[in-house]
Structure 1
Amino acid sequence: MSLTSRLESNFIREYNETFSFTDFISPSNALSSCAHSQQAELFVSRMASFISYSSEFNSLIGYKPEIKLIASRPVSVPFAHEGGAFVPTTNEVWFTANQLPIQNTNVSRVNLETNQIELLSIQPSIITPNGANYFDDSVYICSQGNQTTSGGIYAVNPTTLVSRLVVNSWFGLRLNSPNDVTFTRKIGGGKYMWFTDPQVAYMQDFGSSPQLGSYVYRFDLTTSELRPVITDLVVPNGIAFDLNETTLYVSDTAPSSYGHGTFMVYAYDLNKHGLPINRHVFSVSSAGIPDGIKVDKMGRVWTGEGDGINVRDHHGTLLGVILGRDLCQSGVISNFAIVGNLVIILAQEKVWQLKLTTSVL
C-alpha cells in the first residue's frame, strides 16, 4: 500500500485515469532508482485486470480469476448500466439500460443457468428505469420519469411482468428521479423501503424542474408513510445496508472534471427509531464517482466506481479493485450483482460473470 501514498517527486496522474496510470514528469534518465522501481511496478499493474492491496482480496478472486463474457452489444447501446437485482425464485438478475444517449424503458434479465438475456415487456412500462432490488416476491425498480411524468418506484411481479406504482409523491410534490433502492425488515419492527432521489433528471435535461431537494427517503411498506431521512447530500446515489441492518451506506456523487465534486460513500448509524445518525466518511473514490453499493455477509462493501468495482472491508480499507477498463470501453462500472460466489458485472455495453473462490452473499 505504500506505493499509493508515497511516491518520488514529480509524479502526475489524470483524475479520470486509474491509479496504475500515475507517471513521472521527469525523463527516465533523470529518475532516482526508487522512482524507477515505482515506475516499473506501476507499468506492470497497467496490464492487470485486478489490483490487490491485501491477501483477503487475493483469497476472494483466487490465483487465476475466472471471468467470462455473457453478452455484448455495440458501444452505442449501453443496455447493462444499473440495477443488479437478484431474483431467487427464477435465478435471474434484472438490470436496466442507461438513459443516455436515448431515453428508454429497457429492463432486461439474465438467467444464471443458461446465461440467456431477455428484454422484458413490463406493463405498464417503466419510464427511464434505473436502480432495482428484489424484496418479498417483487422486483422494485426506480423510475427517473421525464418532463411530464414524475419519478417514482414501481413493484414488478417477476412472473407476470405486471408493474404497480408504489410511490411518486411526498404530500403532492413530485419526486425527482429515484436512483437506487434497498429494504430492511429488522429496523423498528417494520418493513421499510429506502431510496435515493437526486435531481439527476433535471440536471441531465430530461426531467422537469424539481419540487423537492435531493433527499434520501424511508417508505413504510405497511402504512405508506414517506419520510425524508437524509437531506444534506448533493447527489445521493447508491444505497445499501449491511446484513445486520445496523449501518446504512449512501454514496454522494456530484461529478466535477476538476476533482472538486463529492465522491464519498457515507456510513450512518441508526437511532432507536430507525433513523440515520452519526454520518461519517466511509470511503472516497480516487477515480470517478461511487455509484451502486453492495454489502456481503462478511461486511465488505463493494462499490461500482470510475475504475471498476472497489472492494473495502467494513472499516473502509481498500482491499482490491476489479478493474473496468478491459470490461467496457469507458471502464466505468455503475452497478453489479453478487449471487453466492458470482459477481454479475453490468459493464454498460457488456455483461460479465466473475466467479469468486467462495460464496460471499
Structure 2
Amino acid sequence: MATITNENIPVFQTEVQVRPSGPPDQINLIQYDVSFSHIVGTSPSHSLLISTAGNTNNPFFHEACVFIPNHDELYITSNLLQATNSANFPTILISRVKLDRTPESNYVHSVHWQKLRPPQGIDMPKGGVNFDDGILFCAQGSPLAGTGGIYLMPRNAPPHPVVTNFHGRDFNSVNDIVMAKDGTLWFTDPCYGYDQEFRRKPKLPNQVYRYDPQNGNIRVVADGFGRPNGICFSPDETVLYITDSDLIHGDGHKDLTRPATIYAFDVIISSGAPFLANRRVFAYAAVGSPDGIKCDIYGNVYAGCGDGVEVWSSGGFLIGRILVPGGVSNFCFGQDGEMFLCSEQNLWRLQLGPTTKGALLGI
C-alpha cells in the first residue's frame, strides 16, 4: 500500500491543570498529586502526528503501538475495518509509521505512514511487544479452526508461529502480550473475536497464559475475568498488572456494573515455578474502561481509558490524567520522555519530562 507523508507537524505547549479539565480539542494534563509534576516535566508539549478525521471514519490507530528504537518506527494495529463487500468479514490492518526528527530537539517534524496487510498467519492482529528487531504479534484468528495465537514478525523475514493453541484447543482471540526478562511470554485471551462475530464460539474461559519458548510449556496463570485485556509487569517483575475491560463488550454494548478494573498480582516462586498470588483490585478507571497498560521505570502505572491515559502510583493512587480527545485505546513510550497515543482516528505524540521512561525498553 502507498506511503503517506505528513510534514511540518506543529508542536503545541501542553497545559497542566490541577484538577479541572480543559478544552476537548487538544491534549491537557490534570495533576492530582505533586509526583505527577515529576513525570510531566517543566515544559510538556504535544503534536498530532496523523489524523484521518474528515477523510475517513476508519479507526487506523487502535492497538499494539510498538516502538522500534533502532529504526525509529511505530507499528500500530487498526480497529475493525468493515469490508467493502458485505459478504466478507471485517479486516484489521497494520500501520508502519516512520518518524523524522530534528536532531537538536528530538521533536518529530514529519512522519511517513504506510498501511500494511497482515502477513499470512497473523489473522486479525491485536496487541504486540518488541522482540529483538521484530515484533511478537497477538493474532486473534479467523472463523477457521487452527488460527490465532502468538506470531513472531521479524523485520525482514516472513512471520512464524510461536504458540497457537492450549493443548490442542484454539485460543479465543489473543489480545495483549508482555515478555518477561527470562524470555517467557505472558498474554491475555478474551472472547472479543466471538463478540465481534469473526471468531468461532469459545472453547476456553477468558484466561491469562504463560508460555515458555525454551521448553514449549503453556500454562494458565490467572482466570476469573470478564474480558482480560492489557498486561504488563512492574519494573522489577514482582507484580503483574492485568486490565479487565468487561464493561465494554466487543459488539459495543456497555454494562456499567461490570469491571473496568486493573488487577494486581504478586509474582511468586513456588516449587521452582512462577505463580500469580494475592489478586487484588489495583484501580478502577475514572472514565470508560482500561485497555492497554504500561509501567514507567519508577513503577507508576499508565492505562489507556475513555478520557485518555490515567496514571497511578504503584500504591494505586490516581496521580494524574492525560486527557486526549476521544480517549486512548493503547499507547507506548518512545525516546526521552515521549509517549505515542492511539486514539482511533488520531495518532498523537506527547513530550513529557526527559527522565520519564517506559519500563519495557528503559528509554
Q: 1:51 and 1:342, CA in 2 relative to 1: closer, same or farther beyond 3 A?
A: same
Larger radius of gyration: 1
CA distance in 2, matches of 1:220, 1:258: 36
Q: State the 4+ residue runs in structure 1 displaced beyond 4 angstroms.
A: none
Q: Give the secondary structure class of the aligned counterpart of 2:290.
A: coil
CA offsets 1:323-343 (integer angstroms, 9 cap, x no match): 122xxxxx1211011013110
2:123 is paired with a residue whose SS is coil
Q: Which residue of 2 aligns with 1:169?
A: 165
- Give matches, 1:211-226, under 5 Å: 211-226=203-218
TM-score (norm 2): 0.81
The equivalent of 2:48 in structure 1 is 69
- Distance (Å, rounded) in 1 between the aligned partners of 2:148 and 2:300: 31
What is the CA distance between 1:166 and its match in structure 2? 1.3
Alpha-carbon distance between aligned partners in 1 of 2:130 and 2:264, rounded to the nearest angstrom = 22
- CA RMSD in angstroms comes to 1.9
Instruction: Indicate yes or no: 2:66 matched with 1:85.
Output: yes
CA distance in 1, matches of 2:324, 2:197: 28
Corresponding position of 1:247: 239
Q: Output the CA distance in 2 between the equivalents of 1:120 and 1:262.
A: 34
Q: Does 1:270 align with 2:277?
A: no
The alpha-carbon deviation at position 240 of structure 1 amounts to 0.3
Kindly tell me the number of residue pairs found equivalent between the two proteins: 310
After superposition, give the CA deviation of every residue in 1:151-172 in whole Å (9 maximum; x if it has no partner): 2111101233x21111121111
Quote the residue 2:104 is aligned against.
none
Task: Note if 1:138 corresponds to 2:134.
Answer: yes
- For residues 33-57 of structure 1, the C-alpha deviation after alignment (integer angstroms, 9 at most, x for no partner) is xxxxxxxx98x62437221112222
Q: What amino acid is aligned across from residue 99 of structure 2 in structure 1?
A: L
- Closer/same/farther in 2, CA of residues 221 and 61 from structure 1, 3 Å limit: same
Given that 1:237 and 1:251 are in contact with CA atoms closer than 8 Å, whether structure 2 keeps it comes out as yes
TM-score (norm 1): 0.81
Task: Say which SS state the counterpart of residue 260 (structure 2) adopts.
Answer: strand
Residues 1:259 and 2:220 are matched in the alignment: no
Q: Structure 1: which amino acid aligns with 2:68?
A: V
Q: For 1:200 and 1:332, locate their aligned partners in 2 and report how far apart those are by CA, in whole Å.
A: 20
Is the contact between residue 105 and residue 126 of structure 1 (CA under 8 Å) also seen in structure 2?
Answer: no
- Counterpart in 2 of 1:3? none
% of aligned pairs identical? 33
Within the candidate set 332, 337, 346, 2:327 is matched to: 332
Cα offsets for 1:268-288 (capped at 9, x unmatched): 101212111111111101211
Structure 1 segment 191-202 matched on structure 2, within 5 A? 191-202=183-194
- What is the aligned partner in structure 2 of residue 322 from structure 1? 322
3-state secondary structure, aligned to 1:201: helix
Work out the CA distance in 1 between the residues paired with 2:21 and 2:276: 39
The answer for unaligned runs of 5 or more in structure 1 is: 1-40, 326-330
Higher-helix-fraction structure: 1
Q: Deviations over 1:201-256 (max 9, x none)?
A: 11222210111111100000111111111121111000000121111000111116
How far, CA to CA, are the matches of 2:81 and 2:228 in structure 1? 19
Residue type of the alignment partner of 2:39: L
Give unmatched runs, 5+ long, in structure 2.
Answer: 1-17, 84-89, 101-109, 249-253, 359-363
